[in-house]
């Protein structure tokens, strides 16, 4: 709960909160109107069930009231949809901003852990959608609770024990659905790496960097087979879960509709002796169906809360990933000193750099050579402050690299051997969001980079 409250404070700003309050007011209004429309059905049937005592004025009034309420519900639905779209947009925007702000600050060492990539992908692909789902269902529960209470009062008017029996008939269904949903979520979480693997094999044939090799070596059948094997594994696990709950769901439905049949028989018996009206039979059937739908929506809400509670744990894990800490000191020159530097990557058993000491004067040109795996790239990564040293010190202008501020460190530039060309214009690939660079550079202005 603390994690959820913390996230809400971070994601929901004042403007979004105002829209949510308006949405809840609209839902409360809809929740009170919808049961009365069901009650009007009963009144209409009661009016026409006895042709000898039909009062046309009453029928006209009832039909007019029905039309007014239906129009009002439609207007409320349009307004709700409008506000929900605005809430949806702002909520997604806030979540996306929070996720990318965190990724920007995560320490590079965390990216050496494969589980961190799985965690980030789950957060990125599911967080916004799942939280929006629970928000949607949360809005619906306001309508549902009001509707259920009014429906129970209507059933109580027929016989006091009717609402109790209907609720009892729905309890096993609720418990079973909740248990099944929990297992489905856990299964989906366990199978997430398999889903990633399947998507990788399916999408590999469409990737530009792979297409030549795949075409040349005729690898399409290989990737398709690998995707099918992984997909079969996922489908089989889901099939086993469905088979497991089939018999339970069958028994629960027999109980539920058996109780409904008994209540319909009792109501018809009462109607035959004119103890209740004919419309009460139709009211009972309609309320049972609506109650079933509303209770199922309520269970989905509980499932949503459960899903989000598990997702909240992952969100908390994501937000607590180690962040890169920058210093506040500034260097005037870029004299570089490595003093007995050792570095070992996370999950590695041996040092990539072992007791390295070197002095490089500001303005000096130096070439670093060595065999593959000798630590050249690691040397550069440490110099750029991407990783903290395991032992020893790196100093720039006599200042420990961990104490230098980010602006000074940003002046250390590296062009990697395997650079990435992003799916953007040439200008965007060169400037990478720094439009000011293109305006100030006369050389770049001489080319049409768009």
Q: Name the average pLDDT for the chain.
A: 80
CA distance 386 to 106: 10
Query: Above 70 in pLDDT, residue 160?
Result: yes
* Residue range 30-58, pLDDT digits in tens: 878 878 888 887 777 777 766 556 667 77
Q: What number is the average pLDDT over the span 371-392?
A: 87
Same domain, 53 and 201: yes
Q: What are phi and psi of 345, to 5 degrees?
A: -65, 150
* Residue range 395-438, pLDDT digits in tens: 988 899 888 888 888 888 887 777 677 666 776 776 665 555 55
Same domain, 386 and 307: no
Same domain, 366 and 382: yes
Question: Quick one: pLDDT at residue 434?
Answer: 59
Same domain, 276 and 229: yes
For tokens 């996306």, the residue is: 96
Same domain, 200 and 334: no
Same domain, 293 and 400: no
Question: Quick one: pLDDT at residue 340?
Answer: 92
As given in the structure block, the two tokens for residue 308 are 């989000």
CA distance 44 to 282: 11
Same domain, 253 and 359: no
Same domain, 438 and 356: no
Query: Looking at 303, 319, 335, which one is the last position of a domain?
Result: 319
Residue 444 sits in which domain range?
Answer: 420-450
- C-alpha 145 chain-centroid distance: 25
Same domain, 331 and 305: no
The CATH number for 41's domain is 1.20.1560.10
Q: What are phi and psi of 389, to 5 degrees?
A: -70, 150
Same domain, 360 and 268: no
Query: Above 80 in pLDDT, residue 137?
Result: no
353-360, strands of its sheet edge to edge:
353-360, 336-343, 391-396, 399-400
Same domain, 300 and 355: no
Confidence band (pLDDT; 50, 70, 90) for 450?
A: low
Say if CB 94 and CB 12 are below 8 A apart: yes
Same domain, 24 and 83: yes
208 vs 19 pLDDT, higher one = 19
Query: Looking at 289, 319, 349, which one is the last position of a domain?
Result: 319
Q: Give the closest residue to 352 by CA, choosing from 340, 343, 364.
A: 343
The CATH number for 366's domain is 3.40.50.300
Question: Quick one: pLDDT at residue 359?
Answer: 92
Split into its structural domains, the chain has a count of 3
């Amino acid at each position: 709960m603390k994690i959820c409250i913390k996230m809400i404070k971070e994601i929901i700003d004042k403007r979004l909160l105002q829209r949510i309050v308006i949405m809840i007011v609209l839902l409360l209004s809809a929740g009170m109107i919808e049961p009365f429309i069901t009650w009007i059905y009963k009144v209409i049937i009661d009016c026409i069930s006895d042709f000898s005592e039909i009062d046309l004025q009453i029928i006209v009034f009832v039909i007019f009231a029905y039309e007014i309420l239906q129009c009002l519900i439609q207007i409320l639905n349009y307004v709700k949809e409008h506000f929900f779209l605005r809430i949806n947009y702002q909520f997604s925007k806030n979540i996306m901003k929070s996720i990318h702000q965190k990724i920007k600050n995560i320490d590079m060492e965390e990216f050496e852990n494969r589980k961190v990539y799985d965690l980030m992908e789950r957060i990125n692909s599911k967080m916004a959608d799942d939280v929006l789902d629970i928000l949607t269902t949360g809005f619906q529960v306001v309508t549902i609770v009001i509707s259920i209470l009014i429906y129970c009062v209507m059933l109580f008017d027929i016989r006091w024990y009717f609402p109790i029996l209907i609720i009892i008939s729905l309890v096993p269904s609720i418990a079973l659905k909740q248990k099944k949903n929990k297992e489905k979520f856990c299964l989906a979480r366990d199978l997430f790496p398999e889903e990633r693997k399947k998507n990788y094999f399916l999408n590999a044939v469409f990737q530009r960097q792979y297409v030549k090799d795949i075409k040349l070596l005729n690898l399409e059948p290989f990737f398709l087979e690998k995707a099918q094997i992984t997909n079969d594994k996922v489908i089989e696990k889901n099939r086993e879960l469905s088979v497991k709950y089939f018999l339970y769901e069958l028994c629960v439905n027999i109980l539920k509709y058996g109780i409904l049949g008994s209540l319909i028989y009792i109501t018809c018996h009462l109607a035959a002796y004119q103890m209740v009206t004919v419309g009460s039979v139709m009211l009972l059937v309609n309320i049972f169906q609506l109650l079933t739908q509303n209770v199922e929506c309520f269970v989905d809400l509980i499932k949503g809360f459960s899903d989000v509670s598990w997702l909240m744990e992952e969100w908390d894990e994501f937000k607590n990933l180690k962040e890169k800490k920058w210093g506040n000191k500034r260097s005037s020159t870029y004299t570089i000193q490595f003093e007995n530097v050792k570095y070992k990557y996370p999950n590695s058993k041996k040092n990539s750099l072992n007791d390295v000491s070197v002095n490089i004067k500001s303005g000096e040109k130096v070439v670093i050579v060595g065999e593959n795996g000798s630590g050249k790239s690691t040397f550069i990564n440490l110099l750029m402050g991407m990783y903290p040293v395991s032992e020893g010190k790196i100093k720039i202008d006599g200042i420990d690299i961990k104490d230098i501020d980010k602006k000074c460190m940003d002046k250390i530039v590296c062009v990697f051997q395997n650079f990435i060309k992003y799916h953007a214009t040439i200008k965007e690939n060169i400037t990478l969001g720094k439009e000011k660079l293109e305006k100030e550079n006369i050389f770049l202005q001489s080319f049409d980079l768009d």
